[in-house]
Chain A
């Protein structure tokens, strides 16, 4: 007999109302099973990251060698790259799509919607998410949003070129503003609005499941660290995406319905006086960044949780300061809403507010620093085992420290005067998002692959993947700081200014490093595919970890625990001691 919370007998599947589906379509495609949905999100993120990475290669090739044709591109993009040589507008379109795809469909999808969907219900000891059908809907809306976005490549005169930040009025006035600013920009706005809806539905599920479906003994204090991170990330998302969606609606209205939310009077674009009046470009920036800054914490917080979950397993000792860690996550979440103006120091907003925004921006460094020190302190006295998952978790600490520290320069208005809009900014956000968050995704993949697919990944290939990637990303993104210090402006499709000429060799170095690091990811892809098909069978708990997913089979059965919801007796952090059993699982009988 299945036991639910409070010992009350529950109908098997009552939380979810679904028994294992029978048809192929219902089991693998239109499934309400959170594990299938999680894998679907991860597959989508994989397609997205490959797309985004290829776009970045084309961008970097152009930046290093602007006149040289890219082989084959002329056939794929006859307008944007006639003869394989990329036009400036095509470069900006690639850049816009690269940023949009990476931020939304990789960094918000994989560590959060992907791993979170698969593991959060298991971590709390539930059979599924609180609202399985809404969960399925949120994946399909996300996929639809991705398809709408990508369709911008194939309609009108191509994708928008206003960057992932889509500042008005460039993004709001319509096609007068340039190529891609016609239907492409509208598709972008529609796609993002759809994505917001999907994320809100997802957050709804994560929060309700964490609050209401925890199994017996799973108090909030005993939640695994990744679960806490997903829970807090969902709360951040609930507010952030709730602001971006109306912003996108207003943008769409400005574009197609003749309103003037963001467009002031008297604009002359392409020799045409625009028929708008009274709107405020700064309003778009405020709305966008009020979402945009919490969004970057949405991108990184799951990584914090995953690293905090993985490090103790391979250090064979508990995470240092677990409660401090949770408090710091909450502090970061709270502070993330107070700092958005640091993207707008030079935007024309009242300069007094620059100082006001910079204070919480600097203060948020404190909980972030504490967390890094807790990780490093966890290593003290550890007995480290170097699996690939462990290496990526350790690498996360290194790259996050690197990325976070460059934030010091951008958080202060006085130094931002010089560094704003340069490659220094590009270095900063790529380190924290493009590298650290990616390392979190890699760590999670190597860690959880055995559980998700019942097979082990190849450790040798994994280690090669780690080492070459770790060195590669430093070669790609560390030099961008130097470019920024030299005043190299960002979002340029070519470097024609006199003072930029001496920097082109460094750009070429970065391009080569980027192509190399990209090629290295083929090792990862190969490992993923080969392990799925032929990897050695995985036991239930190959890493000797404590959280609930490791107390069920690999992969878990349909209802996660085979009809026996676990009763939790310990926290997730019980490592230590000598001897073969140096850990206590959460559902260990007392």
Chain B
């Protein structure tokens, strides 16, 4: 029974670790300027975790194998772990402690770069509203100003997703509201996230970015996309029955394509 346990644990540990190591299921390629450092942090953590995982399971397996009673074997006294608990306490504290220091030191910078730095000057500003169960995006239009949002005017039926009042608010007249997040490549973008009803979240795996929408708060989020293409933006904060279906597309276009697109949208107003 002890051998069976050891074999099973070993197999499980090696099989799981191998699947991780082979990246059979893995992150999609990163298309952001800050993503490489997140990926590096993840990979380093994966190595540390993998080593600890495999070593821990193998140690368990080995000791169970080695120290089972054998039927009919000579009786023997049990033996205490050499040095008592002290070597293990020291090992755990030093090993884990050092790892924590390293991971925190590097990781906190990675984190701060995304969430504690201001966006680059000249970043393209886009307003986002998250509602049950869709995302909508607003560009400032030719005047470069966003019209004020009035919750009491929000109306999905008339497609007034941002609660704008163009009749009385001149700055709102040229605001462009669309259902996809269209951005130019290599251009810093800063989003301002508004929640219309409940908590939502903004998640684009390729962009390595995620941020909750919180009702009552306007939350900035900035990033730069590095590769043209069409990516999915999905909601990751449970918001009701349509949560699974709450998605939009992020279309990263080349600069000329983006300018063209923006011109076309402005012309439609």
Contacts and interface: CB of A to CB of B under 8 A. Distances in A.
A348 B89 contact: no
A409 B216 contact: no
B78 A348 contact: no
Nearest to A181: B240
Nearest to B1: A386
Contacts of B108: 355, 358, 413-414
B244 A492 contact: yes
A541 interface: no
B111 A413 contact: yes
Contacts of A489: 203, 234-236
A332 to B, nearest CB: 13
Interface size class of A (residues with CB under 8 A): 35 or more
Interface string B73-112: 0011111110011001101110111001001100110111
Given A177-B240, A317-B80, A398-B57, A281 B116 contact: no
Contacts of B211: 346, 348
Contacts of A405: 49, 52-53, 56
A414 B107 contact: yes
A302 to B, nearest CB: 21
Interface string A154-196: 0000000111000101100100011100000000000000000
Interface in A271-329: 271, 273, 279-282, 315-318, 320-321, 324
A414 B2 contact: no
Contact of B116 (A318, A352, A369, A499): A352
A569 interface: no
A561 interface: no
Contacts of B239: 170
Nearest to A370: B92
Given A355-B108, A408-B45, A496-B245, A381 B52 contact: no
Interface in B114-162: 114-116, 131-132, 151-152, 154-157
B63 A376 contact: yes
A348 B219 contact: yes
A163 B245 CA distance: 17
Contacts of A478: 12, 16
A184 B30 CA distance: 42
Interface in A50-97: 87-89, 92
A139 to B, nearest CB: 32
Given A470-B8, A578-B75, A348 B111 contact: no
A161 B240 CA distance: 7
Contacts of B96: 362, 365-366, 369
A271 B88 contact: no
A182 B159 CA distance: 28
B70 to A, nearest CB: 9
A414 B111 contact: yes
A413 B107 contact: yes
B85 A377 contact: yes
B155 A271 contact: yes
B151 to A, nearest CB: 4
B60 interface: yes
Nearest to A409: B45
A474 B48 CA distance: 21
Given A382-B67, A497-B247, A499-B28, A169 B215 contact: yes
Contacts of B224: none
Interface stretch (A333-341, A415-423, A442-450): A415-423
A376 B79 CA distance: 13
Given A170-B199, A418-B42, 11 more contacts: A89-B241, A170-B238, A355-B111, A384-B64, A384-B68, A412-B111, A414-B110, A415-B42, A486-B25, A499-B205, A578-B76
28 contacts: A161-B241, A163-B238, A177-B132, A177-B197, A177-B198, A264-B216, A265-B151, A269-B197, A317-B80, A320-B81, A324-B85, A346-B210, A351-B115, A366-B93, A378-B81, A380-B79, A380-B80, A397-B60, A398-B57, A402-B57, A412-B111, A414-B110, A415-B38, A481-B20, A485-B20, A489-B203, A489-B234, A498-B232
Interface of A: 87-89, 92, 161-163, 167, 169-170, 173, 177-179, 263-271, 273, 279-282, 315-318, 320-321, 324, 346-348, 351-352, 354-355, 358-359, 362-363, 365-366, 369-370, 372-374, 376-386, 391, 394, 397-398, 401-402, 405-406, 408-409, 412-415, 417-418, 420-422, 463, 467, 470-471, 474, 478, 481-483, 485-487, 489-499, 503, 506, 575-579, 582
